[in-house]
Amino acid sequence: MSTTSDAPSVPARDPAAGEATVPADGPRPVVPALLLLALGIAGIVLSIRLPILEENGAGPGLWPLLICIVMTATAAVVVLCPPLRVAIPTARRDVLRVVGALVLLGGFAVLLPAIGLVSTSIIVGALWLRLLTRDSWATSLGVPAGVALVLYVIFVKLLEVPVPVDAWLPR
Protein backbone atom coordinates (compact mmCIF):
# COMPACT_ATOMS: atom_id res chain seq x y z
CA MET A 1 0.00 0.00 0.00
CA SER A 2 1.19 3.44 -0.72
CA THR A 3 2.04 5.83 1.99
CA THR A 4 -0.04 8.90 1.56
CA SER A 5 -0.38 12.01 3.58
CA ASP A 6 -3.00 14.66 4.05
CA ALA A 7 -0.31 17.25 4.62
CA PRO A 8 -0.22 20.02 2.09
CA SER A 9 3.41 19.48 1.28
CA VAL A 10 4.94 16.06 1.02
CA PRO A 11 8.38 15.59 -0.41
CA ALA A 12 8.53 13.52 -3.55
CA ARG A 13 9.85 10.06 -2.96
CA ASP A 14 11.70 7.49 -4.93
CA PRO A 15 9.17 5.82 -7.21
CA ALA A 16 11.39 2.79 -7.59
CA ALA A 17 10.96 2.23 -3.89
CA GLY A 18 7.32 1.62 -4.61
CA GLU A 19 6.22 4.61 -2.58
CA ALA A 20 3.71 7.11 -3.73
CA THR A 21 4.82 10.39 -5.19
CA VAL A 22 2.99 13.65 -5.42
CA PRO A 23 3.03 14.43 -9.11
CA ALA A 24 2.81 17.80 -10.69
CA ASP A 25 -0.82 18.57 -11.36
CA GLY A 26 -1.81 16.15 -14.05
CA PRO A 27 -5.02 14.47 -15.12
CA ARG A 28 -3.96 10.90 -14.61
CA PRO A 29 -4.00 10.54 -10.81
CA VAL A 30 -7.33 12.34 -10.54
CA VAL A 31 -9.16 9.99 -12.94
CA PRO A 32 -9.92 7.23 -10.42
CA ALA A 33 -11.23 9.76 -7.93
CA LEU A 34 -13.36 11.42 -10.62
CA LEU A 35 -14.78 8.07 -11.62
CA LEU A 36 -15.66 7.33 -8.01
CA LEU A 37 -17.21 10.78 -7.70
CA ALA A 38 -19.34 10.08 -10.77
CA LEU A 39 -20.28 6.70 -9.35
CA GLY A 40 -21.34 8.30 -6.08
CA ILE A 41 -23.50 10.87 -7.83
CA ALA A 42 -25.05 8.21 -10.05
CA GLY A 43 -25.71 6.13 -6.96
CA ILE A 44 -27.51 9.01 -5.27
CA VAL A 45 -29.73 9.51 -8.33
CA LEU A 46 -30.55 5.82 -8.57
CA SER A 47 -31.14 5.48 -4.83
CA ILE A 48 -33.61 8.34 -4.76
CA ARG A 49 -35.71 6.46 -7.28
CA LEU A 50 -36.10 3.64 -4.78
CA PRO A 51 -38.33 3.95 -1.72
CA ILE A 52 -36.28 5.69 1.00
CA LEU A 53 -38.68 5.48 3.89
CA GLU A 54 -41.62 3.19 4.32
CA GLU A 55 -44.34 3.32 6.90
CA ASN A 56 -42.69 0.80 9.16
CA GLY A 57 -39.08 1.81 8.65
CA ALA A 58 -36.38 2.19 6.07
CA GLY A 59 -36.90 1.37 2.43
CA PRO A 60 -34.45 -0.28 0.05
CA GLY A 61 -33.13 3.07 -1.08
CA LEU A 62 -32.04 4.47 2.30
CA TRP A 63 -28.86 2.48 2.83
CA PRO A 64 -27.42 2.97 -0.66
CA LEU A 65 -28.35 6.65 -0.47
CA LEU A 66 -26.38 7.11 2.75
CA ILE A 67 -23.43 5.23 1.29
CA CYS A 68 -23.43 7.23 -1.92
CA ILE A 69 -23.55 10.52 -0.03
CA VAL A 70 -20.43 9.50 1.89
CA MET A 71 -18.79 8.28 -1.31
CA THR A 72 -19.56 11.50 -3.16
CA ALA A 73 -18.29 13.66 -0.32
CA THR A 74 -15.03 11.75 0.15
CA ALA A 75 -14.42 11.47 -3.60
CA ALA A 76 -14.93 15.22 -3.93
CA VAL A 77 -12.33 15.83 -1.22
CA VAL A 78 -9.85 13.57 -3.00
CA VAL A 79 -10.48 15.33 -6.34
CA LEU A 80 -10.13 18.78 -4.85
CA CYS A 81 -7.14 18.18 -2.54
CA PRO A 82 -3.94 17.74 -4.56
CA PRO A 83 -1.91 15.99 -1.85
CA LEU A 84 -4.46 13.19 -1.87
CA ARG A 85 -4.10 12.67 -5.60
CA VAL A 86 -1.02 10.54 -5.37
CA ALA A 87 -0.15 7.70 -7.66
CA ILE A 88 2.56 5.15 -8.13
CA PRO A 89 4.12 5.82 -11.51
CA THR A 90 3.86 2.87 -13.85
CA ALA A 91 6.11 2.38 -16.86
CA ARG A 92 4.38 1.99 -20.20
CA ARG A 93 5.71 -1.51 -20.74
CA ASP A 94 4.30 -2.51 -17.35
CA VAL A 95 0.92 -1.10 -18.35
CA LEU A 96 1.05 -3.17 -21.52
CA ARG A 97 1.98 -6.20 -19.44
CA VAL A 98 -1.04 -5.68 -17.21
CA VAL A 99 -3.32 -5.22 -20.21
CA GLY A 100 -1.95 -8.40 -21.70
CA ALA A 101 -2.53 -10.16 -18.40
CA LEU A 102 -6.15 -9.05 -18.33
CA VAL A 103 -6.63 -10.35 -21.87
CA LEU A 104 -5.24 -13.71 -20.78
CA LEU A 105 -7.50 -13.75 -17.75
CA GLY A 106 -10.47 -13.08 -19.99
CA GLY A 107 -9.27 -15.93 -22.15
CA PHE A 108 -9.32 -18.19 -19.11
CA ALA A 109 -12.95 -17.27 -18.43
CA VAL A 110 -13.88 -18.09 -22.02
CA LEU A 111 -11.85 -21.28 -22.39
CA LEU A 112 -12.53 -22.93 -19.03
CA PRO A 113 -16.13 -24.02 -19.73
CA ALA A 114 -15.21 -24.86 -23.32
CA ILE A 115 -12.12 -27.03 -23.05
CA GLY A 116 -11.72 -27.80 -19.37
CA LEU A 117 -9.47 -27.00 -16.47
CA VAL A 118 -6.13 -28.54 -17.40
CA SER A 119 -5.89 -27.40 -21.03
CA THR A 120 -7.05 -23.90 -20.12
CA SER A 121 -4.53 -23.63 -17.32
CA ILE A 122 -1.67 -24.81 -19.51
CA ILE A 123 -2.52 -22.45 -22.36
CA VAL A 124 -3.07 -19.39 -20.20
CA GLY A 125 -0.20 -20.21 -17.86
CA ALA A 126 2.26 -20.82 -20.67
CA LEU A 127 1.37 -17.58 -22.41
CA TRP A 128 1.57 -15.70 -19.12
CA LEU A 129 5.00 -17.00 -18.21
CA ARG A 130 6.45 -16.86 -21.68
CA LEU A 131 5.09 -13.56 -22.93
CA LEU A 132 4.58 -11.52 -19.78
CA THR A 133 7.36 -12.63 -17.46
CA ARG A 134 9.81 -13.96 -20.08
CA ASP A 135 10.40 -17.29 -18.44
CA SER A 136 11.92 -20.20 -20.31
CA TRP A 137 9.77 -22.61 -22.31
CA ALA A 138 10.47 -25.33 -19.80
CA THR A 139 9.17 -23.20 -16.95
CA SER A 140 6.33 -21.79 -19.04
CA LEU A 141 4.99 -25.23 -19.86
CA GLY A 142 6.07 -27.21 -16.84
CA VAL A 143 4.74 -24.98 -14.07
CA PRO A 144 1.20 -24.51 -15.45
CA ALA A 145 0.96 -28.20 -16.27
CA GLY A 146 2.03 -29.16 -12.79
CA VAL A 147 -0.29 -26.67 -11.13
CA ALA A 148 -3.20 -27.72 -13.34
CA LEU A 149 -2.75 -31.37 -12.49
CA VAL A 150 -2.52 -30.62 -8.78
CA LEU A 151 -5.68 -28.53 -8.99
CA TYR A 152 -7.38 -31.33 -10.92
CA VAL A 153 -6.50 -33.84 -8.23
CA ILE A 154 -7.55 -31.54 -5.37
CA PHE A 155 -10.71 -30.02 -6.79
CA VAL A 156 -12.03 -32.83 -9.00
CA LYS A 157 -10.81 -36.01 -7.37
CA LEU A 158 -10.53 -35.14 -3.69
CA LEU A 159 -13.11 -32.40 -3.17
CA GLU A 160 -15.40 -33.50 -6.02
CA VAL A 161 -16.11 -29.91 -7.01
CA PRO A 162 -17.98 -29.85 -10.35
CA VAL A 163 -15.55 -27.86 -12.47
CA PRO A 164 -15.22 -28.33 -16.25
CA VAL A 165 -12.84 -31.17 -16.97
CA ASP A 166 -10.99 -31.83 -20.21
CA ALA A 167 -12.56 -34.50 -22.39
CA TRP A 168 -9.43 -36.64 -22.21
CA LEU A 169 -9.38 -36.73 -18.39
CA PRO A 170 -11.57 -38.92 -16.20
CA ARG A 171 -14.02 -37.13 -13.97
Partner 1 sequence: MTGIEGLIDGLSVALTPTNLLLVLIGVVIGMIVGVLPGLGPTATIAMLLPVTFTLDPASAVIMLAGIYYGAMYGGTVTAVLVKVPGEVASVVTTFDGYVLATKGRAGSALGVAAIGSFVGGLLSVVFLVALAQPVANLASEFGPPELFLIALLGLLLVLAIASGSLIKAALMASLGLLITTVGQDPLAGSPRFTFGSLELLGGLDIVAVAMGVFGIGEALSQLTRHDPPITPVGVRSAFPTRADLRASRGPILRGSVIGSVLGVIPGSGGVIPPMASYAVERRLAKDPSRFGKGAIEGVAGPETANNAGSQTSFLPLLTLGLPTSMVMALMFGALLLQGITPGPTLVTDHPDVFWGIIASMLLGNIILLVLNLPLAGVFAQLLRIRPSVIGIVTILVTLLGVYSIGNSVFDVWTAIVAGAIGFALTRAGFELGPLVLAAILGPLLEKNLRISLTMGDGSAAIFVERPIAVVLCVLIVLAVASASVKVLRNRRRPRTGGLQARLDSFHLEPSTEADTGNLTDAHAAEDPKSKRTALDDEPRAADPVQVARRAEQ
Q: Residues 19 to 58: which contact partner 1 by CB under 8 A?
A: 19-20, 29, 31-33, 36, 39-40, 43, 46, 50, 53, 55-58
The mark string for 114-133 relative to partner 1 (x by CB under 8 A, - otherwise) is ---x---x--xx--xx--xx
Q: Which of 97, 123, 131, 149 binds partner 1 (CB under 8 A)?
A: 97
Q: What is the dihedral of CA 51, 53, 54, 57, to 10 degrees?
A: 130
Footprint on residues 140-159 left by partner 1 (CB under 8 A)? 143-144, 147-148, 151, 154-155, 159
Distance in Å, CB of 20 to partner 1, minimum: 5
Among 38, 48, 77, 153, binds partner 1 (CB under 8 A): 77
Of 43, 120, 28, 117, residue with least CA distance to 74: 43
**Least CB distance to partner 1 at residue 146 (A):** 9
Q: Which is nearer to partner 1, 16 or 167 (CB)?
A: 16
What is the CA 93 to chain-centroid distance, rounded? 18
Buried b (16+ CB within 10 A) or exposed e, 116-130: bbbbbbbbbbbbbbe
Q: Cα–Cα distances in Å, from 108 out to 39, 114, 147, 164?
A: 29, 10, 15, 12
The CB-of-166 to partner 1 minimum distance in angstroms stands at: 13
Confirm if 32 and 112 have CB atoms less than 8 A apart: no
Which residue number, 112 or 115, has a Cβ lying nearer to partner 1? 112
By the rule CB under 8 A, 160 interacts with partner 1: yes
What is the C-alpha to C-alpha distance for residues 15 and 33, in angstroms, rounded to an integer? 21
